[in-house]
Structure 1
Amino acid sequence: MKQYTIKKYDQNDYVIWNDFVALAKNATFLFHRDFMEYHQDRFEDFSLLVFENEKLKAVLPANKKGNSVYSHQGLTYGGLVFSSKLKAEKVELILDEILSFFKENAIEAFHYKPIPTFYFPKGNEEMDFFLFQRGALPERKEMNLAVNLQLPLHVSKSKMKHFRRIENLDLDIIEEKDFQSFWDSILAPRLLEKFNAKPVHTKEEMALLKQKFPGNIRQYSVYQKDEIIAGITIFETENVVKSQYGATSEKGEQVRALDFLFINLLHKYKRKGKKFFDMGIVNEENESGYHSGLLQQKEELGCTVYNQDFYKIDIK
């Protein structure tokens, strides 16, 4: 008799899924179904629930593409979500049941991207070990830059010199109620101009997500004489603050308004007791694999590298 049973998520599981995620050892609000499903039209959901004697023990946010299953491609990070009471040997058993479920459903490969280690100080690397033991291979790495707010801040001397000068320019930092000014005046036009790209989220999607997660999603903007010149969109979790978007106008670049905002937010969230400030990845499709200017900029703000690993295991 199987110790665990696996089922695919459906809408009837909405409450039990969210209740479990709210109390899990290694979950953030990104795993709430309201966040996962704002872009459900773009992904074929293949999320799983793991039961032991009808009691939910773990969930796996995931989507299916072709004959492969991914730690959800619509999320920044993923992984098996479980309670702090679940011991490592049971995580191993659950992984084996999940791999068997994949095989029964003609899945040929599983692509796994765990949440960065600094999000959970109590640890969260059981699955990495057991996947490796079963033949999973590193598929790629991304350099994720973050500041450890539990240590003294080490912003570079040059940035601090400009910061002290900027403080006298009568710039105002505002926590916005909506995203329209930042998206329309700064983020969208600058991404189009610099990278011929659009933000992953539309301003309407961000407004919907903020409505559902008002304590987790925030917009901070810098104004000079009532004109917005820079902004940072924040995703806030229990231990970590993540800058999801950051951009500045040409005028903002001249006065280094984005650095001014970052440094103020570093101090703000350090005072609030957050453990890390996540400034995201610096990877780029070039010979070196990263954007050197972006790496330097984030290091000068006090960031160090925490690798984001991606694994692939072939289902045999």
Structure 2
Amino acid sequence: MEYHSDRFQDHSLLVFKADELVAVLPANKVGTLLYSHQGLTYGGLLLGEALKLQDTAQVLKTILVFLSTINITHINIKLSPACYHIKASDEMSFLLHHLKAEKYRCDALSVIDLHEKLLFSKDRISGVKRGQRNGLVVREVQEFSAFWDHILLPNLKLKHQSKPAHTLKEIALLKERFPQQIRQFNVYKDNVVVAGTTIFETKKVAHSQYISGNLDKNTLGSLDFLHVHLITHIFKDKRYFDFGTSHENQGENINEGLLYWKEGFGARTVTMDFYSLPVAKYNNIDRIFI
């Protein structure tokens, strides 16, 4: 995460039991607040697979006790969405509820369960057919510049006066360090890039981090064509396909058109919750268990 060092004061934590690493909290510091790292899409407290409820409680207590010694007053923590869990594990939700943490934000991810029958809407199927008629081709590529410079950056500037969270240099660095997990798929018409998506891949999930098409994307059906191909061929053996959020205004609003498009592939809502907890609440953790 060092490429974010100019934007965030990193304060990530490692938790050990004896000499064994049992938990990691990617985090950054803002004054007397500690955040689940604000430069990461999901993040949250990462726990070893063997940890159970009481183990997780002790991990949380250890973190809070440590933070109390370095003048941190609150921890603002986001919970990893359930679809990213290797095993079913809502220990943190349970603990934060019983510690009366304040739930201050809830994001909505659009996620397809690929173990269920795929149900594409008429609009999405129509888009795929337009893509076929227009002779579109999907290719996985190893470099990002064509998509970044000619599709993604111009679109974000035109529609939102914004930039992607990652620069071209940063995404190339991530690809270099995680070549199997960071993947770029472009759509071509007559060998010209017309759309694409940047995929972040985990053991169970394929996540479209960036999705963008040129001004003809609706006429060409390029994004429908691309994502149906990814869902039904490239990532068909994953458990989930995650389109991410459709939020605007720091999660206060949903882009209705974008949500409609994602749900047309069969995506449904998975939440990501954000909690604020006073560090002093570590005193209450042991009282949960009798």
CA distance in 2, matches of 1:259, 1:187: 17
Contact 2:127 2:222 in 1 (8 A): no
Q: Say which SS state the counterpart of residue 56 (structure 2) adopts.
A: helix
Q: What's 1:307 paired with?
A: 271
Q: 280-289 or 90-99: which moved more?
A: 280-289
Q: 1:279 aligns with which of 243, 254, 257?
A: 243
Alignment of 1:245-264 (within 5 A): 245-264=210-229
CA distance in 2, matches of 1:220, 1:229: 11
> By how many angstroms is 1:162 displaced?
3.0
CA distance in 1, matches of 2:187, 2:82: 31
Contact 1:155 1:301 in 2 (8 A): yes
Q: What's 2:184 paired with?
A: 219
> By how many angstroms is 1:270 displaced?
4.4
Contact 1:150 1:270 in 2 (8 A): no
> By how many angstroms is 1:299 displaced?
0.7
Q: Say which SS state the counterpart of residue 123 (structure 2) adopts.
A: helix
CA distance in 2, matches of 1:287, 1:214: 31
Q: What's 1:160 paired with?
A: 125
CA distance in 2, matches of 1:288, 1:76: 17
Q: 99-108 or 283-292: which moved more?
A: 283-292
> By how many angstroms is 1:308 displaced?
1.1
Q: Say which SS state the counterpart of residue 41 (structure 1) adopts.
A: coil
Q: What's 1:110 paired with?
A: 75
> By how many angstroms is 1:166 displaced?
2.3
Give the structure, 1 or 2, with the largest relative contact order (CA under 8 Å, sep 6 or more): 2
Q: What's 2:4 paired with?
A: 39
> Which segments of 5 or more consecutive residues in structure 2 lack a partner in the other structure?
281-290
CA distance in 2, matches of 1:197, 1:128: 33
Query: What are the Cα deviations for residues 243-289 of structure 1, in whole angstroms up to 9, with x where unaligned?
Result: 00010111233212111101111112443x10000001012229972
> By how many angstroms is 1:82 displaced?
2.2
Q: What's 1:130 paired with?
A: 95
Query: CA 1:292 to 1:99, structure 2 compared with 1: closer, same or farther past 3 Å?
Result: same
CA distance in 1, matches of 2:205, 2:251: 31
Contact 2:127 2:218 in 1 (8 A): no
> By how many angstroms is 1:176 displaced?
1.3
> Which segments of 5 or more consecutive residues in structure 1 lack a partner in the other structure?
1-35
> By how many angstroms is 1:37 displaced?
2.1
CA distance in 2, matches of 1:100, 1:191: 43
Contact 2:198 2:211 in 1 (8 A): yes
CA distance in 2, matches of 1:116, 1:287: 15
> By how many angstroms is 1:107 displaced?
0.6
CA-based RMSD: 1.6
Letter in 1 for 2:53: A
Alignment of 1:66 onto 2:2: no
Q: TM-score, normalised by structure 1?
A: 0.85
Alignment of 1:139 onto 2:107: no
Q: Say which SS state the counterpart of residue 38 (structure 2) adopts.
A: coil
Q: Say which SS state the counterpart of residue 254 (structure 2) adopts.
A: coil
Q: TM-score, normalised by structure 2?
A: 0.92
Q: Say which SS state the counterpart of residue 188 (structure 2) adopts.
A: strand
Query: What are the Cα deviations for residues 192-225 of structure 1, in whole angstroms up to 9, with x where unaligned?
Result: 0011111111111111110111101111111111
CA distance in 2, matches of 1:287, 1:143: 9
Q: 2:147 aligns with which of 175, 182, 197?
A: 182
Give % identity.
40
CA distance in 2, matches of 1:140, 1:172: 40
CA distance in 1, matches of 2:250, 2:201: 31
Letter in 2 for 1:147: I
Query: CA 1:130 to 1:177, structure 2 compared with 1: closer, same or farther past 3 Å?
Result: same
CA distance in 2, matches of 1:190, 1:197: 9
Contact 2:182 2:201 in 1 (8 A): yes
Contact 1:149 1:275 in 2 (8 A): yes
